[in-house]
């Protein structure tokens, strides 16, 4: 079980923005900073903007900045924006779940899912601020 490259990119992108507080960074600039293909990064930033994690500015001198304080953005926020924590397939095939006794497993996946979400939620981006 591993995270997608896209999620890794998204997190590195947010870290990049955390380190440039108050600045508006262009896709070009971020792309060079974190070594991610420009067009692919553009898609990721759209998702982050859609989730309210970053704010976009269009037009010349446009770009992106964090939408709120890094302490108020956590790893779960990013995951939700890019690849929600689902865990469990059996939750999605109710027909099978109701017929087969095997789906005593279902509630276990639900618990695990919630605990994984909690683990991600307690990790915020304050730790990545530029040193004093």
Partner DNA sequence: ATAATCAAGATTAAATTAGTCCTGTTTTGT
Partner DNA sequence: ACAAAACAGGACTAATTTAATCTTGATTAT
Long-range contacts formed by 88-94: CB under 8 A, 24+ apart: 88/112, 88/113
| Residue 65 structure tokens | 């900045």
Name the binder of 112 from DNA, a second copy, none, CB < 5-8 A by kind: a second copy
Phi, psi of 73 (to 5 degrees): -120, 130
> Could you tell me which of 89, 88, 19, 78 has the C-alpha nearest to residue 54?
78
Which of 74, 83, 88, 124 is in the footprint of DNA by CB under 7 A?
83
Instruction: Compute the least distance from the CB of residue 50 to a second copy, in Å.
Output: 19
Total residues at the site for a second copy (CB under 8 A)? 41
Residues within window 31-60 making contact with DNA, judged by CB under 7 A: 36-40, 42-43, 45-46, 49, 56-60
Q: Can you tell me the distance from the alpha carbon of 20 to that of 26, in angstroms, rounded to the nearest whole number?
A: 12
| Residue 9 structure tokens | 């990119």
Position 38 contacts a second copy (CB under 8 A): no
The site for a second copy (CB under 8 A) is made up of 1-3, 5, 8, 11-12, 15-16, 19, 33-35, 75, 79, 83-90, 96, 100-105, 108-109, 111-112, 115-116, 119-120, 123, 127-128
């Amino acid at each position: 079980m591993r995270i997608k490259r896209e999620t890794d990119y998204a997190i590195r992108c947010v870290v990049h923005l955390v380190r440039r507080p108050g600045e508006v960074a262009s896709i070009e600039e971020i792309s060079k900073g974190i070594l991610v293909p420009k067009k692919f990064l553009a898609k990721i930033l759209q998702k982050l903007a859609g989730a309210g994690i970053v704010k976009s500015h269009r037009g010349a001198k446009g770009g992106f900045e964090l939408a709120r304080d890094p302490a108020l953005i956590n790893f779960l926020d990013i995951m939700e924006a890019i690849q929600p924590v689902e865990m469990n397939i059996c939750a999605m095939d109710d027909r099978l779940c109701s017929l087969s006794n095997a789906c005593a497993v279902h509630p276990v996946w639900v618990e695990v899912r919630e605990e994984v979400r909690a683990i991600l939620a307690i990790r915020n981006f304050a730790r990545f601020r530029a040193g004093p």
